[in-house]
Each structure stands twice: as C-alpha cells, then as structure tokens.
Structure 1
Amino acid sequence: MKNLNLKYSLLIIFVHSFLWGSTPIYSSTFTGRVSLDPEIRHGVLSNGLTYYIKDAEDGSSKIDMRLVVKAGSALLDPDQYELQHVLEHVAFKAGKHMTMGKANSLGLKLGEINGNTSFNFVQYYIKSTYTQEKRDIAFQLFQDIIWDLEIKEEYVDSERSVINNELAHRGRFRASAVINGLESGMIGRSPETPKDIVGYINSFSIDPLKRYYKDWYRPDLMAIVVVGDMDDVDEMEKEIKLKFSRDKPIKNPRSAIIDYSNYRNLPPQFISLEHPYLIENSKSRTVYLRLNLRQKTTLNEDGLEILKNEQQRKLLIEMLGDRLIENQDAYNTNFNVISRFIHPPELGLQLNFTIEGGSEKMVLMKTMQTLRQLRTTGFTKEEFKEGKKKLIGYLSKTDTTKIPYWADNILSHFVYDIILPPHRMTLLEEIVTNLTFEEFNRFIATYLKTDPDDIDIIVLAPPRHRMLSYSEKTFRNWISEANELSVAPYSKLKTPKELIKPSTLANLQESAIQKISLPLPGTKEYLFGNGVRVVLKTLDTIFNQNTKQQNSIRFHGFTSAGVRCYPQEDYFSALNSAEIVRNSGVGGLNKFELKKYLDSKDFKGSISPYIEYDEAGIRGSVSLEDLETALQLVYLYFTSPNSDSLAFEDWKLKATSSLVLKSINKDDFRTRIRTILGDYTYLPKGTKALEGVTKTDMDRAFTIFNKIFGNAGDFTFIFTGNFPENKVLALSQKYLGNLPIKIDEMSCNHLTTKRVTLPKPLKTSMPSTGYMQEAKVQLGYISALNTEDLNWKKEAKLKLLQFLMNFSIMQEMRFNSEEGGSYNISVWLNLQKSRVFNEVIVDFSCSKEDADRLIKVVKQFVESFNNNTIDAELLDEYKNTAIRFLELEKNEKNAISEKLYDYYKLGRPWHSIEEEQEYIKSLLGEDLRNMARRLLNVSPFQFKMLSAKAVQ
C-alpha cells in the first residue's frame, strides 16, 4: 500500500507478522487495535470524509460505488419521523448537476442506482459502472448529495405519495412493522410512529427535512466506498481526493454518537396494542409477542474480542434457534418462536413469537423454561460441537472474491467499527475453532435473562382479542411461574439412523440401461428398464478451491400428468396433494424426523415434489456429496409417501393460518383477474386457495399422488451441473431405475386443453379482502396467441421489449415525474409455456386518489411508445446486457436445465446460446417496434383493487 507514513507502515508489518507468521492466526490475547486489511486503500480527507478502495480483481470489469452517511433513523428529532427515508428519495431528484433521471438517460440502467436507510446509516449505491463515463456520473451524483442538494417543495411533494406507496409496498402496515416501530420508540432509535402515517407523510413541513440534511450530511460522517475490478487503484484514489476534498463548514455540529444508556436504565417496559391495520371481522387471529432480554451493562470489547463476540452471538442464535424449534416440532401446533439480537446487539437478546389458537401462556412458559434450562446447565457438548461445525462450514464457504462481500464488510467497518483485518474469514474460522465449550457457556449466560424485571414485553393483537385484556402483571406472573418449575436435564430427541432400510437397499436391482444415440450437443441421454429417461448435461465450470464452492447439481424430473387429468370435484385434492405429502413425510419418518436425519447428515440441498395444471414432478438442488441422499428421498416420494391424518389436519391448520393472509390482497387480485380472463391454466391463490382447503379430501389426495408418482415410466429426469457423469449415472440407475411402473396409463380426458374466448376489454374495480392502504392497478394489453409466438426468437424479442418499456415507463412516471404517485411501476410479459394468449401487463400501486390519473398516464405512455421510434442507443445497451446474461448462462445450471426442459417436455427445437446471442445482435429497432404495434394496438383491460370501504 502506498502513501503510508513510516510509523503506520511499521505497525502494519508488525501486526501482519504477528497474525500471519509461523504462529497460529488466532491468539488468546484479544486486546489492542487491529489494523485494517492492507489490501483496502483507506484514508480520511482534510474535510473529514473517509474513503475506501478495494480492487476485487474478479475479471468482471465491474466497479460498485457507494456513498455512506453515518446517520439514520436513530438520529431523527421528534418532528422528523421517516425523513431520513424521504431525503434519500429527494436526493435523487434534487441534485444541482446530476439526478437519477439524468443518470439513467446518460446510460445507467434501472436498478443500477439505488439507496436504502437503516437505524444507523443511509447509503446511495451505483452498481456495475463498467466505464469511466458511468463512474463520472456516479461521482457527480455523490458530489451533489454531499454539497449541492436543492431541497425544493416541488421535489418533496412529488415524493410524498411515492413514499406512502413504498411504505405500503414494503409492509409498513403489517404487524411486524408495527411492533418494530413500538420497539424503536421504546429503545430510542427513532421517533414515535404517528397515528396517521399517510396523513403525516402528505403534510410534513419541509423545514425539518432541510434541518436533517444540514445536521447530518457532513463529510466527517460520510464515506466513499469503491469496490471492483479496477485498473489503477492509485488513479482512483487521486480522483476521489480531487473530487471530494471540498469543505462544507458546519456551525456547532451536533454529536452523532447514539446513547442508549437511558434505555438501559429504564424499568422493565410493557406495551400492549390493538393491531391498528386490520379490517373489521378480519380472519387474522395472530398474536405477536416480543420479549427483549435487556442487557443493562455494556460489554467492554476491544481488538479481536469484537470478532470473537460477534461469532459467539451468531453461534448462540443458531443453537438457541434449534432448541426453540424442538418446542415447535409437533403436529397441530400453531406458533413460532424466533430468536435474534436487538439492534444494536449489545442491548440484548430478542424473542419474537407468533401465536394462534389460544396457547399464548403455554408457549411463553415453555420458552422461558428453555431459557432457564440453558442458564442452569448450558448447551451440551454435542450441541456445541454441531453448532461450531455449521458455523465453520458457513465461514469456509463464504466467497471472498465477490464485490458485495467487500462492500458490505467495509460498510460495517465504517458504520459499526467492525474490524476488518487481513484474511478475515480465515481468522474467523480459527477463532471459532479455538472457542471452548466452557467459555461459550459463560458468554451466553450474560444474554439469557429469565428474571421478569430484566424483560421488556410488547404485545400486538387483533381487535377485541382477549390477550389485550391481560395486564403487565399477568405476563410477568407467567414468567415467574415458569421460573418456579423444576428444570429437567436436556435430552436431545433421537435422530433416525437411516432413510431407507438396509434390506430395501439390498433388494434394489441394477436397472437395464440403453444409451440414446442422438443426444443434444454436450448431452448424454439414457433410457432405463422401467422407462425412466435420464439426461446428463455437464457444464464447463471448473471447481475453484479459492472460492470454496462445492460442485452443485440441479435435477428436475417431470411428467405431463397434472391437475387437468382429474374431474372438477378432485381439483383441490390434486392441487394440494404434493404439499400434503411433504407435510406428512416419507418412508415412515414424519417431517420432523426427516428434518433431524437430514440435519445430522449436514444436508444442505432442497427436494420438492409438485403438481401443477399440466405437469407434475420433483425438483432438487444439491451438492455432489448429498446426491445419494437426495435420490433416496426421490425414491421414497415415489414409493413410500406417508398417509397421516394428524399431519393432514396440521396441513389444513397451516394452510388456513393467519400467516398466509399477508399477501391475500395481491393473491386475490391476480386470481380474480385470471378468472375474468378465463385462464384455466392459472392455479388459484388467496381466498380461492383457502376455500380449496375445505374441498380437499385426504384419501383422494394420496390416491392422486400415488397415481401420478406411481408410474415413473412417464418421467424424464434432467441433471445439470459440474459432476462426474459415471457417478451420477450409477446413482440414478440404482434409485431412479428402481422406481415403480404401472401398466395402466394416466388418462387426462377430464380437463383437456381448450381454446379461450377472450372477453371484450373491460374496466372493473374489486374490493380488497384484507386491510389495504394503497390501490392496486393492472392494465392488460391482451391479444390472441399464435403458434409462432411460442418460439425462442419471439421470446428473445419479448424480453428486450419488456426491458425497454420498463426503463421508459419508470423514467417517465417515477424519476422525471413532477406529480409522482407510484413507487414501483413495472411492465411484464406472460412468458409461461402454458399461456393461452399474449399479454403485456402494466402493474403498479398508488393512492386511490392517484389511480385514475395514473391509468391515463400509462395509456398515454403505451400509445406514445407504440408510435415512436425505438431509441437505438438504449436498444444497443439492453442488447449488450442480454448478450452478457446469455454468456453467463452457458455454464449456469438452472438456465441450461430450463432449455433442456423446453426441448424434452415441450418439444421445442434445440438452439444454442451462441445462436440466441447472434439473433439478438441482429435485431433492429424496427423489429421491436413491429412487435410492439402488434401487441399494444388493442384496448387494455383495466383492473383496480381498492379498500372495501372505497369500493362501497
């Protein structure tokens, strides 16, 4: 590293020698300052602004740039609720020289510029700056945010409805956000939430916003972070010094140090609140309970002790989570307990409960007994060993070559003073490896509080719920009662020793196998004696030990049997059958026993059977080491699915739980639209799905599942990834080659594919099912589907058209709009293989007052887009992006698997990625304009969902 004074250079050499010499990296002596990784260029300018530069050298030519402000919601004054977020929005419009709209018009794409806020920071980031021109744009945007924001009424007014829309979009009116707001106000990390959030956002004065900018957007609280594959770190440092050394005098600067001592010294807190955002007679009966096990003293952490305690906290959360899950591992219980640390973590441990069914006292007492058991006896050596193994495995697999790894860790170094020494992940591995059982149990005892006076309690319940009638004394008495019960020694539940009995394994016969002589390029195809077809496609990726990533395999087995094969009375039994089986387990092991077995094998993969409208199958993604276990699971799903009435009742309980109501409005909106359009291929969600639970028969569900999966001769399995073909073929032959077959063929005559007569375009408004702050709007440009619309060339053009429309509509209706209205407006195309018509959909949400105005704006935009020439420069930009994506897909297992699926399941002609790249290169603006004219030259369907009161 250059430009270090002699003293600091000697310190770096000393620390580096101490940490990385012949002695182990880890030392039991943790005190003392630890140097920043010398591969990070770091400095502080004369005006106080900090900079970090890290050359990631990943060969991508991408450079990500961030401006971090060490000030978030925790520094807001009482009259500034949410204004750190408002300023983050306004900053992209109010720059004197550069705005987001201007940056996008100069070549940056949607999603490359963004920002976010937290309790302790605000950050603005620009991704993938491939060129110097883009980096100049980024730096100019950052300069304006630091020195030259023109905070005007018109900019603020244009973002008011957008902010409200985003709050609704991101769930600010859901229970979790409400309880977070209650906690934040209690701790003192943000102002009290207004009773009328929408009204407040629509009417706050601009003066507090200007004051927030003046107080906290100061160079001494800011950092420029540049991470990526750059040619010259010295030049980047010179550029930062040149562009960001300007002074910004601040009279009487306020302290940005956040003091939580007041919260620590408060008596135990109690808050009980009726959920303010539920409609009358809501189906939601969930009680949300939060316990903060408060730390009244601050841990004195220094040097490597900070890293050690960070890892011990991660280990505690993981191991405590496993203990708490054991309390939940039973059918027909409807509660969840999740542990995490309060923010900031030195304030203590937090337990989050969601409870239904009237078991609140039992759940609370049982959880407190678990904590008391741990305080008394600690974790077992076996738990500690397993916990360390998992954590070390996670640390060892962390890819330290990626840009986000460095950018996120640098942000933590600047904002939270988390040390970032050389070879950080290797150091963390050694710290965890050397952590002893005794010191860990001593450490966790400081966080596990069971005294009622050490615990803050927050309750959020539906209107008129009996939990709201309980006093603080009642809750604390429950906790005291749990403390008085005797504590039994912990006894871990037994873990099954095997998935498949040895006698069954011994009887698996080697299947006959036939190699197909006309496979696709780079693909091998085999037909087993039972009719199962296996396709192997190995990719050219080379296993890179430096990134510590395991070889991974994706497999997909499928058949054309599906829901359509059954009469209407069996519709929901067929649709839900795979989920019912997953909830019941396989091979005589229930789902809890199955999970314990897989955890004991450190199985990290996913295996999922499914049944859809015109298809059923099973998908899996695993490491090579887990492939045999995965194929054993596949074998059991086909041969030994459990039929369990208790598990079935549990599935019904979970499928109708209040927790599934979180997306009820979105699901109902989409389902009602598809019903109006007559799209019989769409599988219902929301209220229709809830009603379908009562129409699901357990016996019919298992009969249907066994019928479909009992005839493996109809299945094709596609394997893609980086693997030795002989091993995968041998395991497939052993397990897939022994799957059952039946002589009687599936009959799919009940719901055969049919033509849809599209209704005439219409306008309709529908009421929401649950509480909804915003209006949902969808405009659908829908036309007849021709056979030629289902080829890959048309789909390549459709994707480009979608990119262009998305960019243009966001520019016009979001970034350059003077009136604003919608946080996220998007254009999407229905590219489902089973679609029954062409669809170009414009989706957005907004206030009900803005809905009709924005519908007109969308229609005008589509008409203009349909008539105007495609911007050649923008088209080239997105063509190049699409070509880069395709280049990555050459060795991307999911993308290749999907192409093989199109060939084997849908009979689509095979084409190479190189062909697709060449085709995209050849496309002209006129090609897309002709497609747009064909698809958009129709009157749109207009759908709105409004709150039930608004519709009335």
Structure 2
Amino acid sequence: MELKRFLSLGLLLVGFIPMKLSAQQAQPLPTDPAVRVGKLDNGLTYFIRHNENPKDRADFFIAQKVGSILEEDSQSGLAHFLEHMAFNGTKNFPGKNLINYLETIGVRFGQNLNASTGFDKTEYTIMDVPTTRQGIIDSCLLILHDWSNNITLDGHEIDEERGVIQEEWRARRDANLRMFEAILAKAMPGNKYAERMPIGLMDVVLNFKHDELRNYYKKWYRPDLQGLVIVGDIDVDYVENKIKELFKDVPAPVNPAERIYTPVEDNDEPIVAIATDAEATTTQLSISFKSDPTPQEVRGSIFGLVEDYMKQVITTAVNERLSEITHKPNAPFLSAGAFFSNFMYITQTKDAFNFVATVREGEAEKAMNALVAEIESLRQFGITKGEYDRARTNVLKRYENQYNERDKRKNNAYANEYSTYFTDGGYIPGIEVEYQTVNAFAPQVPLEAFNQAIAQMIDPVKNAVVTLTGPSKAEAKIPSEADFLAAFKAARQQKVEAKKDEVSDQKLMEKAPKAGKIVSEKKDQKFGTTELTLSNGIKVYLKKTDFKSNEILMSALSPGGILSGKHAPNQSVMNSFMNVGGLGNFDAIQLDKVLTGRSASVSPSLSLLSEGLSGKTTVEDMETFFQLIYLQMTANRKDPEAFKATQEKLYNNLKNQEANPMAALMDSIRHTMYGDNPMMKPMKAADVEKVNYDQVMAFYNERFADAGDFMFFFIGNLDEAKMKPLIETYLASLPNLKRGDKMNKAQVPAARSGKIDCKFEKEMDTPSTTIFDVVSGNVEYTLKNSLLLEVFSAVMDQVYTATVREKEGGAYSVAAFGGLEQYPQPKALMQIYFPTDPARAEEMNAIVFAELEKLAKEGPNVEYFKKTIENLNKQHKESLRENRFWLEAMKASFFEGNDFITDYESVLNGLTPAELQKFAADLLKQQNRVVVMMAPVAKAQ
C-alpha cells in the first residue's frame, strides 16, 4: 500500500515529537482493560463490558463484515433483504416470535430492535434490554446465535417480504438518493461500489429465486466475519461462558470465500460528476481529495490517535474560516464545510478530504472558484497561528469533556465504538488513555506539522473529484461536465493569498452588572428542586443530579410570545433572524472566537405563547454561561450584514421548495388542518424577501426587555453555593418592567373540525402516494388522557405493522403518533402517516381507518396493549435518569401547571383495555377526520 498519506500524518511527526515518544510509534495502543475481548476457535470475535449506565439495562449487537458489495449481479439487494428476514423466523424463534418475545420485555421493534445494511457491513442491534432476569440475557444471546447461523429463510416468508422492501425503496427514493446514485456511477465508473446500492434493484428483489438468498447467507454469514458486542449491567464472566457454550456449534467455514475489500482507483486527472433532478431544491458542490487509508497496523498505534487528533484540529480550523465567509452578505456560497470521511462516504479502501458548499442558483462556477481559492490557500499557506490555537484549544476541550464524563458513558456509546472497531479497525484504549496521550503529545506538535499534512492531503494534480447536484430546471444554469472540469482546472491556477486572522482581545463582559438579591428560598420535595425568588421577581429553580458529571442544562420561559403583539412577525421569521448578529460588542464570528475553549451556549426562542432561552454548559464554564444569558437578554446585537447573509441563505434554500413533493404535502397538511391562519403559514421564499429586520429586532427587544416574569430552570451537576452569587449578579440584575404579560391562549390556532379531504396530484419521479390522516376530538387535558393517547398510538403502530406492512406488503412503515393539545381548548389528535403504491392507496387507507374502528368497537389486541404498557414503563424508568427529561418536567409543572410525572407509573399501570377502547370510541364518534393524500400525476397513456 502507498505510504504517502501515512507519512503526511505519521512519520512526518517524528521530526517534531521527542524520541521518547517516537520510539513507541509502532506499538499498538492497549485495549481498554474494562472490555473483555476474545475469539472462539471458529473465528467469532466478542466484546463484553460491564456498565451500569443505565442500570439494569444492556445492549446486544452482532456486527458482520459483509454488505451489499459482496452481492453477485443476480443478488442485488439481497444483503438488505437478508437483514429483513432475520426478523421473520429463526431456528429458536420461528415466525414473528423474536419480535413478539422482545416486545413482551419492553424492547420495541424499530425503536430498540433494529438492523442496518451498508456496502461493507451489516449490524443487528437489541438495545436497552432489561437485565433483571438471567433468562432475558440468555434469550438475547440465543437471538444473536440464531442471527449468526440459523435464520430460517422460509420461502413463504421471503415472498411476503418482497412487497415490504419495494415499499421501503419507494419511501426512500427521493431526489437526493437518485442524484447520489448518478454521482457514484460517474465518480467511480465500473466500480462495484457504484453498482451495489444496499436497497438493490427491484427487478431482482421481486423475482429472485429463494436459493439466491440462502446462498448469500451461507457464503457470507460466518463466524470469522462476525463480532458480538454485549455492553451493560451484566456479569462479564457469565456472558463470556454463555457465548462459548452457545456459539461453539456454529461451524467454522470450510474453504471460505475470500473477503475482498473492493479497491478504488486513483485518478491522475480531476473527475467531474454532475447530476440533476426535477425534485432537487438546492445546488450542492463537493470537492474531494482521495487518499489511501492508513494501514491498520499503524491505525491501531499511537499514530492513529495522532492522525485523528490532527484531523479534528484541521477541520475545526477550516470550518471556522469557511463559516466566517458565509456570514458576510453576497458571500460566494451560502454555507460551506470541510470534513474527512471514506471516499463518497461509503468506501473502505479509499479516504477523502472533503470540501462542500451550498450554492446560489445559477452560480455554481462562482462558488467553485471561491471554494478552490480557499483550498489552494490552505494547501499553499496552511492555517494561521490564531486558527490553530483556537482549534487546538477546542479539540482538547472535547477530549476533556469526554474524559470528565467517562463514568457516565452509556451502553450504546460503548457498543457502537466496539462494533465500529470490529468492522473498520482503529483503537479502543479507553478515554483515559486517549485523553492522557493526546495531552502528552499535543503541545509538542507544532503548527508546521499540521500545514505540511494539509499540503500532503490536497494533491495539486491527482485524485481530485468534483461533484455538483441541483435542480434540472433551466434557471439553475447547471454547467456541463466538460465546462465545469475546465473551470476547475483554471481555478486551481489562480493566485491566492494567506488568510489574515482578526481576533478581538476584549473580554466577553468588561464589567459585571450591579447585583440584585435572592429574597426567598424554598424546597420542593416532590421534584427535589430549590426555588429562589429574586429581587426583580425572577423565579429560579435548581435541581442537582448525578446523571452526568459535567453537564448543566438551562431553560427560561416568560408568558407572552408571538401572540402578545398585534403586528408581530411570523413565528418562523422571528426564530430565523432574531439571533444572527452576535452579542454585546461581538458579531457572531468574533463571539465564537472569544468563546474558544469554553463549553457554554445560549439560544433564544419565541413560540406563540412564550419567549425563552435554552442553553448548556459545564461546571467550569458557569460564569461564562451566566454572562451569555445576561447579554442575550440585554444586548442582542443588531447586524444588518449578518441579517442580509442569513436572508440570502434562507431565500435560496426555500426558492425551489415547491419542487419537492414533501414540501407540497406539508403545506397541504397545514392548510387542511388550520386553513389560512397566518400563525401556521409556512415561510416561503417570497416571505423572506419581505422580512423587516428592524421590526424583528424591535419585537425581540420588547419581548425580552421585562425579565420580571421569567422563570429559569437549571439542572445537572449543580453547586448551589457557587451558583447563587452568579444568579444574583447576572439574573437578579435584569430589569423588571412589571408589565404582567399573559399568555393569549384563546388565539392559539385550533385544528379544524369535521370531515375534510384534500387529495391532489404532484409531479414526481418515483411514483408514490403519501397519506396523512388525522382523527381528533375534545378531551380533558390530564395525565391519564395523555397516556391513553400514547398507548393508543403505540398499539396502532403494532396493528399497522401486522396488517398494512406484513400481511398486505402495502407500506414499509405506518407511523401512528398522538398529540395532546392544551390550547385554545384541550384536544387529542391521532395522526397517521405512510407512503404506499399509488395503485393501492385507497385500499391501504381503508384498512387504516377500519383498524381504528375495530379497536373502538372491539377493544385493543390484549398482547399489543400489554407490550405497550411494558415498553412505556421501561422508557419512563430510563427517562428518570436523563437531565433533559427532568428539565421538561420542571417547565411543565412550574410554568404550565401540569404535573405529568408524580403519578405517571400508577396511572399508566392502572390503565385497562376497556378504558383504551372507550377513549378511542369517544374520539372517533366526534367525527373529526382529516385525510390528506398526495398522489403522482397520472402518466399519459
């Protein structure tokens, strides 16, 4: 393998890192001692780790080093088809018993139980499994065993699944996927990667002989290509012994087919690939520089860690530079970014340094010239000292944050890490080793090393691949590939300059405001909170938790919102433009630079009934966090140039939305449900052009001028003694105008009543009818009704999976979801969404409504009901260990007056099938039904 790239990020450093460190360069990084790694005689690899976050839960994965790239022409789509069949019968779990069993213990199909197929790997996951009984652990290991070697592949089940996969193909085949397929064929002509999209060819999927699938399974699902990952609250010794006992009967392959990783050729001349689509809404440019991946023997050593660290620093610095450009009006591109990945995001045998940009319609060449200029500036001059210092500080801060949270890392994070390590290689020494090692070598790697690496990775001639996608309409002015290639070559010859870095040396706040006082304090035993009343009327609620070591979340709310003003701008307008200018003395770009190395962010928002803030920080950045809150309330900066740049970006993003069938569907849903109410009107490109920035900022300042009726909620690893002086300085000092704002609840848009149908046709490339149904009715706004609606939707999900998906093959997924609205009057909405074959749309929707009526008349399937209660109980217990969950609960209780937490378990477990039947019947008899159906325009015969 060519070592040029390795030299750029590895041996290059020998000249910069002291010999004590470089002498260890070839040594593999140690494996984290907390994970048990082993291999059976048949070649099966396993990773086992005890972890109690969350307690009494575990994740079970099986990763396969196989995917669609290994299919023969006659098997296109069968790797993905096989993934589906793993849920349709195994030796020990025939039929749907695998799904049925897991759902009885609260593991829900599609939520905790899933699988995915890629080009080079396939992964099956059973997550958040209760480990309170040994039998559950044994059963999950047995499922992994069956997936490894005992999927039944019954002929009848195979035929039943063909329609499901065709509907998955239909649901996923949008403009982006079609253009991606076209780009692959041009970027890698003749390569198998361009011919093996995991979803496959429908002609093969609908017609292959059963033995084709069985042959693929027998050939490639084998222990030497499989890895088990079990992480959670389990006994590691027990699980290891059980794996050895269970999997010893899985035979090692005899004369196995060689697992070859498909090579991707270098290119001496730039490749330009252009694809357009009638449903595309934006023009996207990508410039990639291919390179060979680092060999695993190097990737797994300290050089792999050095490489990843350097890549993070480089992309952080480059993205800061590109972001700064896009914040200016008339920028050459609307947004831009840089990142490292597999080439085309899929190949195992070629990496890429990617630069991407969203382009104004008709300005592809202008954007390409500007992006190439930045690339050439990086290649020739590198990043600046200031960019490097800020990027290095921010990257080291990320390592520090991960290190500080090491004891709170969740099962899923470990499981994904080990699964990826098995399929892709790398290292798993644990964050302690990574953190200590990075901090040891980072100070010794100079800026010159990074800039030499950048120059190595951006070849001046070879391995450049340029792609452009966009609308097919003439107005988009998409150039020909020949013209774009010539323009790209010319752009690489342009004269460029080194970046000039501008940094302010001002502090975030030069002077603290005059502090107010905490005037009262009381405890709430029910929620475990401390309530502080401040001298300016603000209420502050503090809840200390140990869920994470270094996370603090904040939310603040005040009554008022959009509906408080007679001439308020549209809600979507306000939230798009009111926070683009930075804070205090700093524009948005300078503010990011000032905050280098600090984990603190605050964002404002305006809803119909309230204005508020949300934010996140760490223990050590608490004062910066409070300063940001104060500035967001008192010194939101007006920046006409930033507004204009945002306006241009949003206008171009919305300009072609009508070409996207899904945008037309969403518009129709809103209009059908809410009529012409301006508060529910989606923002259009024409609306963006009319936005009055002065009006936006005036309304923002008016809404946030009066802090006296705000409630602030803080949760996380809080130190109340340290927080109180900050609260007095930065919150109690905020102005109180004593306006006494109220929530204008009566003006909240209400969903329309009665039976309303909206059926329309839309031009589309892939014929599909998408259906959105709503059944609604008045109910009391109570915890019980909220839970009944949640149970109703979850039960219907299972019903539709069994009927529309499995029995009829009429949809890949039918999503049922309930929503309980409080204003203007309490109302329950059951919403159902699915795409289907246009020829079967009316038939499938008739089944959807028939099943609703059936539940209302006969009651729910008792097994579905029990599974749902079990799943909701499990979810609730998991949520009780999440800061975000408690933050929302605090807001609901103290700001809205709705306590949906205290009696949750008793109310949920007290529900009966008869109560659900009555709830559904009461809802349906109110005769409020909306059907929005978007079908393709009929083709002329």
TM-score, normalised relative to structure 2? 0.85
Residue of structure 1 in register with 2:425 after alignment = 417
Partner of 1:849: helix, strand, or coil?
A: helix
Residue of structure 1 in register with 2:12 after alignment = none
Partner of 2:820: helix, strand, or coil?
A: coil
Contact 1:186 / 1:263 at 8 angstroms: preserved in 2? no
The C-alpha deviation readout for 1:505-536, integer Å capped at 9, x for no partner, is: 4xx33335532679675444344444x42222
Query: Deviation of residue 582 (structure 1)?
Result: 0.8
Of 394, 402, 407, the match for 2:415:
407
Q: Tell whether 2:598 aligns with 1:592.
A: no
The C-alpha deviation readout for 1:370-390, integer Å capped at 9, x for no partner, is: 333333343344444433333
Q: Distance in 1 between matches of 2:869 and 2:371?
A: 56
Query: Deviation of residue 622 (structure 1)?
Result: 2.4
Partner of 2:265: helix, strand, or coil?
A: helix
CA gap of 1:211–1:325, structure 2 versus 1, over 3 A, is farther
Q: Distance in 2 between matches of 1:767 and 1:571?
A: 35
Q: Tell whether 2:62 aligns with 1:67.
A: yes
Give runs of aligned pairs for residues 599-678 of structure 1, distance below 5 A. Answer: 600=596, 602-658=597-653, 665-666=661-662, 668-678=664-674
Letter matched to residue 935 of structure 1: L
Residue of structure 2 in register with 1:117 after alignment = 117
Q: Distance in 1 between matches of 2:219 and 2:578?
A: 58
Letter matched to residue 101 of structure 1: K
Residue of structure 1 in register with 2:466 after alignment = 457
Give runs of aligned pairs for residues 745-824 of structure 1, distance below 5 A. Answer: 752-753=746-747, 758-768=752-762, 773-785=767-779, 789-814=780-805, 817-824=806-813
Letter matched to residue 593 of structure 1: Q
Contact 1:665 / 1:768 at 8 angstroms: preserved in 2? yes
Q: Tell whether 2:259 aligns with 1:253.
A: no
Query: Deviation of residue 409 (structure 1)?
Result: 2.6
The C-alpha deviation readout for 1:597-642, integer Å capped at 9, x for no partner, is: 23x2x33333222222222222222224334333333333333333
Residue of structure 2 in register with 1:849 after alignment = 839
Q: Distance in 2 between matches of 1:720 and 1:466?
A: 49
Residue of structure 2 in register with 1:538 after alignment = 543
Q: Distance in 2 between matches of 1:157 and 1:113?
A: 23
Partner of 2:838: helix, strand, or coil?
A: coil
Residue of structure 1 in register with 2:398 after alignment = 394
Residue of structure 1 in register with 2:11 after alignment = none
The C-alpha deviation readout for 1:341-398, integer Å capped at 9, x for no partner, is: 3414753322223211444334333333333333334334444443333333323333
Partner of 1:190: helix, strand, or coil?
A: helix
Q: Distance in 1 between matches of 2:100 and 2:293?
A: 53
Query: Deviation of residue 876 (structure 1)?
Result: 5.2
Of 569, 582, 586, the match for 2:579:
582
CA gap of 1:866–1:898, structure 2 versus 1, over 3 A, is same
Q: Tell whether 2:291 aligns with 1:295.
A: yes
Residue of structure 1 in register with 2:14 after alignment = none
Contact 1:779 / 1:942 at 8 angstroms: preserved in 2? yes
Letter matched to residue 576 of structure 2: E
Name which of structure 1's ranges 654-663 and 458-467 shifts more when overlaid on structure 2.
654-663
Q: Distance in 1 between matches of 2:738 and 2:544?
A: 36
Of 917, 925, 928, the match for 1:929:
917
Q: Distance in 1 between matches of 2:539 and 2:293?
A: 61
Of 879, 887, 907, the match for 1:919:
907
Query: Deviation of residue 830 (structure 1)?
Result: 1.1
Partner of 1:128: helix, strand, or coil?
A: strand
Q: Distance in 1 between matches of 2:620 and 2:247?
A: 51
Residue of structure 2 in register with 1:325 after alignment = 323
CA gap of 1:49–1:576, structure 2 versus 1, over 3 A, is same
Letter matched to residue 450 of structure 1: P
Letter matched to residue 712 of structure 2: F
Q: Tell whether 2:224 aligns with 1:220.
A: yes
Aligned length: 896
Letter matched to residue 217 of structure 1: Y
Letter matched to residue 525 of structure 1: E
CA gap of 1:63–1:755, structure 2 versus 1, over 3 A, is closer
Q: Distance in 2 between matches of 1:862 and 1:450?
A: 63
Query: Deviation of residue 460 (structure 1)?
Result: 2.2
Structure 1 stretches lacking a partner, 5+ long: 1-22, 544-548
Structure 2 stretches lacking a partner, 5+ long: 1-17, 343-347
Name which of structure 1's ranges 792-801 and 671-680 shifts more when overlaid on structure 2.
671-680
Residue of structure 2 in register with 1:525 after alignment = 531
Query: Deviation of residue 48 (structure 1)?
Result: 2.8
Letter matched to residue 769 of structure 2: A
Q: Distance in 2 between matches of 1:497 and 1:70?
A: 53
Contact 1:461 / 1:467 at 8 angstroms: preserved in 2? no
Query: Deviation of residue 96 (structure 1)?
Result: 4.5
Give runs of aligned pairs for residues 272-283 of structure 1, distance below 5 A. Answer: 272-276=273-277, 278-279=278-279
Residue of structure 2 in register with 1:18 after alignment = none
Q: Distance in 2 between matches of 1:101 and 1:272?
A: 45
Q: Distance in 2 between matches of 1:127 and 1:744?
A: 50
Partner of 2:713: helix, strand, or coil?
A: strand
Partner of 2:728: helix, strand, or coil?
A: helix
Contact 1:312 / 1:440 at 8 angstroms: preserved in 2? yes
Name which of structure 1's ranges 60-69 and 27-36 shifts more when overlaid on structure 2.
27-36
CA gap of 1:467–1:90, structure 2 versus 1, over 3 A, is farther
Q: Distance in 2 between matches of 1:194 and 1:418?
A: 26
The C-alpha deviation readout for 1:141-168, integer Å capped at 9, x for no partner, is: 4344333334456444443443344345
Residue of structure 2 in register with 1:5 after alignment = none
CA gap of 1:705–1:353, structure 2 versus 1, over 3 A, is closer
Q: Distance in 2 between matches of 1:770 and 1:874?
A: 37
Residue of structure 2 in register with 1:9 after alignment = none
CA gap of 1:633–1:674, structure 2 versus 1, over 3 A, is same
CA gap of 1:404–1:299, structure 2 versus 1, over 3 A, is same
Query: Deviation of residue 230 (structure 1)?
Result: 1.2
Q: Distance in 2 between matches of 1:838 and 1:871?
A: 22
Name which of structure 1's ranges 198-207 and 583-592 shifts more when overlaid on structure 2.
198-207
Partner of 1:558: helix, strand, or coil?
A: strand
CA gap of 1:638–1:418, structure 2 versus 1, over 3 A, is closer
Of 802, 816, 837, the match for 1:827:
816
Q: Distance in 2 between matches of 1:574 and 1:112?
A: 35
Q: Tell whether 2:932 aligns with 1:944.
A: yes
CA gap of 1:890–1:259, structure 2 versus 1, over 3 A, is closer
CA gap of 1:473–1:840, structure 2 versus 1, over 3 A, is closer
Query: Deviation of residue 812 (structure 1)?
Result: 4.0
Residue of structure 1 in register with 2:345 after alignment = none
Of 495, 507, 515, the match for 2:504:
495
Residue of structure 1 in register with 2:8 after alignment = none
Residue of structure 2 in register with 1:242 after alignment = 245
Letter matched to residue 270 of structure 1: I
The C-alpha deviation readout for 1:870-921, integer Å capped at 9, x for no partner, is: 566665554454445444555643333333323343334x57x453333334
Partner of 1:51: helix, strand, or coil?
A: strand
Residue of structure 2 in register with 1:447 after alignment = 457
| Cα RMSD after superposing both structures | 3.8
Residue of structure 2 in register with 1:341 after alignment = 340
Contact 1:578 / 1:705 at 8 angstroms: preserved in 2? no
Of 303, 306, 310, the match for 2:308:
310
Contact 2:522 / 2:532 at 8 angstroms: preserved in 1? no
Residue of structure 1 in register with 2:710 after alignment = 715
Residue of structure 1 in register with 2:15 after alignment = none
| Aligned sequence identity (%) | 20
Q: Distance in 1 between matches of 2:571 and 2:142?
A: 58
Q: Distance in 2 between matches of 1:25 and 1:449?
A: 32
Q: Distance in 2 between matches of 1:684 and 1:198?
A: 41
Partner of 1:446: helix, strand, or coil?
A: helix
Residue of structure 1 in register with 2:830 after alignment = 840
Query: Deviation of residue 571 (structure 1)?
Result: 5.2
CA gap of 1:338–1:757, structure 2 versus 1, over 3 A, is closer
CA gap of 1:177–1:733, structure 2 versus 1, over 3 A, is farther
Query: Deviation of residue 123 (structure 1)?
Result: 1.0
